């Protein structure tokens, strides 16, 4: 992935989402009669400055890492007598709450629109056809069979493997079993899948794919036994393998697919054997000795080589998740609710110690995901924007002073007490909130650097 693309995609994503958030505050404030002094996207040296209606100053900062809306307020400076009715602090509790809540609400509405566009354009994926079932696993005990297509998990239709994974993950947070509808040679049937073994590992770096936990492997096109990448310092590099080499046989045993090659290597840890390869128009014999790696079932072999990337996906394995413009509205709302509630649930589990704080990502990881999704296409980037927009809304609604949720907490206390908290109490709360945010940022950066350095 291009570093430039990642940075550019990150800047666009943050710029768009911050603009949406701040415009929510701005729009409600203006329509509530509050005078807005400044609308700024980004910090640092202004790249562009313009003064519009009502003398509101619009600024585009050089650092697209945030933004703010500055409103007329007696607590921040002297206000002319004729402008006092338009000062934010003079507004009713309802108006102040609406202005503060408008930012997160705007992010939620943006996510709904982004998902709507994605569903209308269509989300490309791989058809959920079962390729392999591991013995004595939840999928095996449920009665899954090779070649069957998973068409629904619970009430959720699943035209792609991505939708299957998501539906199972969501179901696993609330249920120990879920009905799964499959279609095969015998027609459609419902299976009961045990989800008790599905878990979000306390260490996300060690977490296994949901399908792997259930014991099912997707149907995949057969890969040719062609070397695509050779890792430095590994047995394949030491034996003389190069990208583009086609494996013909190992220890005189014919190798026809990449899976056969992987199985052969895994079954011969630490054993030296000859490998016949085809390199261009030449046939060569290389001597290879796989490294010994301790696996769950005992020692396995590894050589440090990856396959050549497959070509275009066969038509019979392609699928697209698409809805009509009208049907996409309800589906977009449902998807936004699913991701939002799941975000809150995972945050609660993190606070309870059930999920590791290693799940928290900072700007480096977000930039990587932004670049990756932008590289794949417009629709994946829309999905990325929707998820981050929902996360931004949830984060801002946390009852932490400095954040929108903290201000709403103050207003709730004001509603109960009949008067606002003292300026001293609010100042102390702000300081606590700043310390908490700095700690969260440090943790996010630490996680980013740990992932980056491996």
The DSSP symbol for 95 reads: H
Distance, in Å, from the CA atom of 451 to the CA atom of 364, rounded to the nearest integer, reads 10
Sign of CA dihedral 409, 413, 414, 420: negative
User: In sequence order, which residues have a C-beta less than 8 Å from that of residue 337 and are 6 or more positions away?
Assistant: none
Report how far residue 322's alpha carbon sits from residue 182's, in angstroms, rounded to the nearest whole number. Answer: 20
Rg of the chain over Cα atoms, rounded to whole angstroms, equals 28
Q: 3-class SS at 94? A: helix
Q: Which of 8, 9, 65, 7 is nearest to 40 (CA)?
A: 65
Q: Are 216 and 168 in contact (CB under 8 A)?
A: no
Counting Cα atoms < 13 Å in the Cβ hemisphere of 240 gives 11
CA distance 27 to 36: 10
Q: How many CB atoms lie within 10 A of CB 372?
A: 16
Residue 130 structure tokens: 């079962």
Total residues belonging to the chain = 454
- Determine what percent of the chain falls in helix, strand and coil, rounding each to the nearest 5: 50, 25, 25
Inter-CA distances, 149 with 50, 75, 125, 189, Å = 57, 63, 14, 11
What SS3 state is found at 62?
strand
Instruction: Kindly state the DSSP code that residue 222 receives in the 8-state scheme.
Output: P
219 assigned to active site: no
SS3 sequence, 36-47?
EEEEEEEEEEEE
Among 215, 209, 195, 213, residue whose Cα is nearest residue 132 = 215
* Residues acting as catalytic residues: 22
């Amino acid at each position: 992935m291009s570093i430039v693309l990642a940075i550019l995609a990150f800047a666009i994503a943050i710029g768009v989402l911050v603009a949406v958030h701040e415009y929510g505050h701005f729009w409600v404030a203006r329509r509530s009669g509050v005078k807005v002094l400044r609308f700024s996207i980004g910090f640092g040296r202004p790249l562009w400055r313009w003064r519009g209606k009502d003398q509101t100053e619009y600024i585009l900062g050089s650092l697209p890492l945030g933004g703010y809306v500055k409103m007329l307020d007696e607590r921040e400076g002297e206000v002319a007598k004729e402008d006092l009715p338009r000062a934010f602090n003079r507004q009713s509790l309802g108006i102040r709450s609406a202005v503060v809540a408008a930012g997160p609400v705007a992010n939620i509405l943006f996510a709904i629109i982004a998902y709507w566009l994605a569903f209308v354009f269509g989300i490309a994926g791989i058809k959920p056809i079962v390729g392999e079932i591991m013995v004595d696993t939840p999928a095996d005990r449920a009665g899954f069979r090779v070649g069957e297509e998973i068409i629904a998990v619970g009430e959720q239709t699943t035209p792609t493997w991505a939708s299957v994974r998501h539906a199972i993950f969501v179901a696993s947070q609330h249920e120990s079993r879920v009905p799964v509808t499959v279609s095969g040679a015998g027609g459609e049937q419902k299976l009961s899948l045990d989800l008790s073994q599905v878990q979000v590992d306390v260490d996300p770096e060690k977490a296994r794919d949901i399908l792997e936990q259930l014991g099912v492997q997707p149907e995949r096109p057969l890969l040719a036994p062609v070397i695509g990448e050779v890792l430095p310092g590994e047995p394949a590099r030491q034996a003389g393998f190069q990208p583009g080499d086609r494996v013909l046989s190992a220890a005189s045993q014919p190798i026809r697919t990449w899976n056969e090659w992987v199985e052969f290597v895994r079954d011969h840890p630490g054993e030296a054997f000859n490998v016949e390869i085809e390199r261009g128009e030449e046939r060569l014999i290389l001597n290879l000795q796989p490294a010994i790696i301790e696996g769950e079932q005992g020692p396995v072999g590894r050589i440090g080589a990856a396959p050549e990337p497959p070509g275009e996906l066969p038509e019979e394995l392609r699928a697209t998740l698409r809805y009509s413009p009208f049907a996409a509205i309800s589906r977009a709302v449902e998807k936004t609710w699913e991701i939002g509630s799941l975000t809150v649930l995972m945050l609660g589990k993190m606070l309870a110690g059930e999920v590791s704080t290693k799940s928290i990502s900072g700007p480096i990881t977000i930039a990587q995901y932004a670049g990756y999704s932008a590289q794949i296409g417009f629709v994946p980037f829309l999905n990325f924007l929707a998820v981050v927009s929902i996360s931004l809304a949830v984060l801002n609604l946390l009852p932490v002073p400095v954040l929108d949720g903290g201000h709403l907490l103050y207003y709730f206390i004001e509603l109960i007490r009949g008067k606002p908290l003292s300026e001293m109490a609010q100042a102390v709360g702000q300081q606590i909130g700043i310390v908490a945010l700095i700690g969260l940022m440090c943790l996010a950066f630490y996680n980013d650097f740990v992932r980056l350095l491996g």
